[in-house]
Amino acid sequence: MSVVRSTVTGCGSFLPDNVLTNDDLARQVDTSDEWIVQRTGIKQRHVAAEGQVTSDLALEAAQRALENAGRKAEDIDTIILATATPDNTFPATSVTVQAKLGITHGFAFDVQAVCSGFVYAMTTADAYIRSGISERCLVIGAETFSRILDWEDRTTCVLFGDGAGAVVLEKTEGSGTNADRGVLTSHLRSDGRHKDKLFVDGGPSSTQTVGHLRMEGREVFKHAVGMITDVIEDAYEATGLSSEDLDWFVPHQANKRIIDASAKKLGIAPEKVVTTVQLHGNTSAASIPLALDTALKDGRVKNNDLVMLEAMGGGFTWGSVLLRW
């Protein structure tokens, strides 16, 4: 039986030049390289230059993804950009990227699911492709979290970074089995009862300010591993696949301890885990495509590999996408 699948045909990423190390931060707030590395695994993060906005990072990542896919901008009919740090309250940052790419057909919109944004955007693009609305999507995760951090709050400012990643997701034909390339299954969840555990204390309708990120880190940590493993088990149940079948586990990069504990609980071998949090910090919606691009460019992820993506973040939102590359 022939079925429609959505297959990744190209990937790209972009990081701003400016690198902020843990030692740099220790000169600004009461922290240390030792504390940050021990609690999070993070050693450095990238920070956007003055005037460099989310759409600038997104555009670079999108252009690299298009090049990697051997596609031109005009081949794209849909842009879905996941971000919690848009250039402006509106219009959507994706339409700025659309204009900068010179695309005047199709449509573009943003997805807001904070750190789970890329998983939500991939799931949305896959659904649009399988329903016949779209044929070739640019799925982007791009963030400038440096703009919403309270740089005097050591409990949050050491954790996040800026960056962008993108994939080209295209309509392909499959046989309807797990051997197909493309997205095999995806599972999204949210539970707004947790919205005050990780939020931004401003917004157009409430304070008319942008606000700063606030987090009860220990509370987020407490829920993270259980939520992540739940949606991955949903993917296993839907496909009959298991951790042993995975070639790569590409989790949202928030904290090495959360990544390691999730992999351990699921029985995923450490050598299958792609970890970039040490270099990028938590780049929210950008972290998964940044990690994917790293593992693609260093030769780890290859065509036909089975790849599990997962994320959990503010809301809480969480989700998994299982795909064959």
Query: Interface with ligand UT7 includes 79 (CB under 6 A)?
Result: no
Choices 5-13, 31-39, 48-56, 128-136; region in contact with ligand UT7 by CB under 6 A: 31-39
What span, in angstroms and rounded, lies between the C-alpha atoms of 98 and 92?
A: 10
**Nearest residue (CB) to ligand UT7, 68 versus 275:** 275
Site string for ligand UT7, 175-214 (x = CB under 6 A): -----------------------x----------------
Catalytic site includes residue 252 = yes
CB atoms within 10 A of CB 225: 20
Q: Give, as ranges, the residues between 138 and 177 that touch ligand UT7 (CB under 6 A).
A: 154-155, 158
Closest CA to 129 of 8, 302, 10: 8
Q: Which of 11, 46, 115, 187 is catalytic?
A: 115
Where do the H-state alpha helices sit in 240-274?
Answer: 256-266
Query: Interface with ligand UT7 includes 221 (CB under 6 A)?
Result: yes
Query: Interface with ligand UT7 includes 68 (CB under 6 A)?
Result: no
281 in Cβ contact with 45 (< 8 Å): yes
**Nearest residue (CB) to ligand UT7, 5 versus 154:** 154
- Residues in binding contact with ligand UT7, number by CB under 6 A: 20
For the annotated catalytic residues, the residue numbers are 115, 252, 282
* Binding-site ranges for ligand UT7 (CB under 6 A): 31, 35, 39-40, 115, 154-155, 158, 198, 217-218, 220-221, 224, 254-255, 258, 282, 312-313
